[in-house]
């Protein structure tokens, strides 16, 4: 609604193809279509301090990208900008060609972007299954009255979506937890549940904020496989922030390096690993795994 008044409002209805700056970075298989997520000159200032500046991205429909950078470089801020949690000071975000300007966080989610959080944010007093069902909330279409009076439509839909929720839980082999309170799950399972809840919203792009934080190498290995599995089977794009280099280098097709709110390098994992600027600014003396 507020976007009607926005100066960029004219753009919002029609998908617009914006020229991609670095088309070579989009995987070949995705080149025929418009980028599923595109940000142009995105930036935000917090009281005069520029937290993120001139951030550009164009993601193919089935691309897996990574964003790395030292702590405080602005990675999570970029996620918040892409999902409209923070209103950008500059620049545009297009999801599947539609401008997100003036949309609420929930509307942006419905436009096709889902995310997880660095510090886990589950609905801890609800069961695992209910957490996923909240994600399905917008796909479910029963009217309040249908639900309150328990008309037949309610039963049909509840049953259908409970099945779907269980199937979704199977991705990470979490069906056994369906009736457990999310807050009582082990840490790793909580991280996985966040991903599943995000998937339940039916996104075109999935943003993962440090999905491997606190996981051991074996779990990280498994997560890597699962990220690829999600991409392969659901045909969605995934953008992740991660400190674990083995994960980023192992799973991402494109990696961007962020420092002081700016992208200082962008390319394939091999390019990044050999980029002198990156080694200088970010990796320092540390050897890349």
Partner 1 sequence: MEEEVMTEKRPIISAGGGPRREGAARKTLPMPVRYAINAVVVLVLLVLGELMIDGGAINRYQSTVLEQVGIYIILAVSLNIATGYLGQLPLGHAGFMSMGAYGCSIFIIRMSEALGVGARDFVTGTPMALVLVLGGLVVGGVCAAVAGIVIGIPALRLKGDYLAIITLAFAEIIRVVMLNIDDVVGFDLTGGAAGLTGIPGYSSFLLVFGCVAVVCFLTHTMMKSRHGRAILAIRDNEIAAEASGVNTTYYKTLAFVVSAFFAGVAGGLYAGCVGVLQPAVFGFMKSIEILVMVVLGGMGSMLGSALSATVLTILPEALRAFSEYRMIAYAIVLILVMIFRPQGLLGSYDFSLSRIIERVMNRDFPWARRAEKDEPAAKEVSADA
Partner 2 sequence: MFFTQVLNGLQLGSIYALVALGYTMVYGIILLLNFAHGDIIMVGAYVSWLVMAQLGLPPVLAIILSVAACTLMGVLIDKVAYAPLRNAPRLSILITAIGVSYFLENGAQLVFGADAKVVPAYTELTTVQLGGLSLSFPSILTVLVTVVATVALTVVVQKTKLGKAMRAVSEDMGAARLMGINVNTTISFTFAVGSALAGIGAVLYAMAYTQANPTMGMMLGTKAFVAAVLGGIGSIPGAVVGGLLVGFAEVFVTAIGLSVWKDAVVFLLLIIVLVVRPTGIFGRTMNEKV
Footprint on this chain of partner 2 (rule: CB under 8 A):
76, 80, 85-86, 117
Residue 158 is a binding residue for partner 1 (CB under 8 A): yes
Q: Which of 16, 34, 140, 213 binds partner 1 (CB under 8 A)?
A: 140
User: Could you say whether residue 59 binds partner 1 (CB under 8 A)?
Assistant: no
| The one among 168, 223, 245, 247 contacting partner 1 by CB under 8 A | 168
Say how far apart CA 193 and CA 200 lie, in whole Å.
10
Q: DSSP 3-state assignment of 205?
A: strand
Kindly provide the b/e burial profile for residues 27-63, where b requires at least 16 CB atoms within 10 angstroms of the residue's own CB.
beebeeebbbbbbbebbbeeeeebbbbebbbbbbbbb
* Residue 144 φ/ψ region, left for φ over 0, alpha for ψ in the -120 to 50 degree band, beta for the rest: alpha
Q: Which does 76 bind (CB under 5 to 8 A by kind): partner 1, partner 2, none?
A: partner 2
Q: Is the Cα torsion angle 156, 159, 165, 167 positive or negative in sign?
A: negative
If the CB atoms of residues 41 and 156 are measured against partner 1, the closer one turns out to be 156
Listed residue (146, 136, 130) closest to 109, CA to CA: 136
- Residues 71-110 touching partner 1, rule: CB under 8 A, are 83, 85, 104-106, 109-110
Q: Which helix (H) or strand (E) holds 245?
A: helix 245-251
Taking contact as CB under 8 A, which single stretch among the options 47-55, 58-66, 213-221, 264-272 is the one that binds partner 1?
213-221
C-beta of 86 vs 123, nearer to partner 2: 86
Return d(Cα 265, Cα 267) in angstroms, integer.
Answer: 7
The Cα–Cα gap between 11 and 13 comes to: 6
Least Å distance, CB 78 to partner 2, is 12
> Given the complex with partner 2, which of 38 and 76 has the nearer CB atom?
76
- The Cα–Cα gap between 210 and 76 comes to 9
User: What's the length of the chain?
Assistant: 289
CB closer to partner 2 out of 11 and 75: 75
107 to 136: interface string for partner 1, x by CB under 8 A? --xx---xx-x---xxxxxx---x--xxxx
Window 231-250: residues binding partner 1 (CB under 8 A): 233-234
Q: Given the rule CB under 8 A, which residues bind partner 1? A: 83, 85, 104-106, 109-110, 114-115, 117, 121-126, 130, 133-138, 140, 142, 144, 147-150, 154-156, 158-160, 162-164, 166-168, 170-171, 173, 175-180, 184-186, 188-189, 197-201, 216, 218-219, 229-230, 233-234
């Amino acid at each position: 609604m507020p976007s009607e008044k926005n100066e960029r409002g004219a753009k919002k209805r029609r998908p617009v193809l914006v020229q991609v700056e670095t088309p070579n970075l989009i995987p070949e298989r995705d080149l025929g279509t418009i980028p599923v997520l595109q940000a142009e000159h995105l930036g935000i200032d917090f009281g005069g301090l520029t937290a993120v500046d001139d951030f550009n991205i164009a993601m193919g429909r089935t691309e897996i990208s990574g964003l790395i950078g030292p702590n405080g470089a602005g990675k999570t801020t970029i996620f918040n900008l892409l999902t409209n949690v923070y209103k950008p000071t500059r620049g545009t975000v297009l999801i599947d060609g539609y401008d997100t300007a003036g949309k609420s966080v929930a509307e942006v989610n419905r436009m096709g972007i889902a995310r997880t959080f660095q510090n886990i944010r589950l609905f801890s007093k609800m069961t695992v299954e209910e957490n996923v069902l909240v994600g399905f909330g917008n796909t479910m279409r029963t009217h309040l009255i249908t639900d309150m009076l328990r008309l037949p439509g309610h039963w049909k839909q509840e049953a259908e979506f409970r099945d779907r929720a269980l199937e979704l839980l199977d991705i990470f082999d979490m069906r056994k937890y369906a009736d457990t309170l999310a807050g009582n799950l082990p840490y790793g399972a909580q991280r996985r549940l966040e991903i599943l809840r995000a998937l339940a919203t039916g996104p075109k792009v999935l943003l993962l904020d440090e999905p491997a934080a606190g996981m051991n190498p074996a779990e990280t290995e498994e997560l890597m496989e699962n990220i690829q599995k999600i991409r392969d089977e659901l045909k969605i794009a995934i953008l992740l922030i991660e400190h674990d280099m083995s994960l980023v280098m192992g799973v991402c097709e494109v990696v961007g390096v962020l420092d002081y709110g700016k992208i200082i390098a962008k390319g394939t994992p091999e390019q990044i690993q050999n980029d002198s600027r990156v080694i200088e600014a970010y990796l320092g003396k540390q050897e890349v795994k």
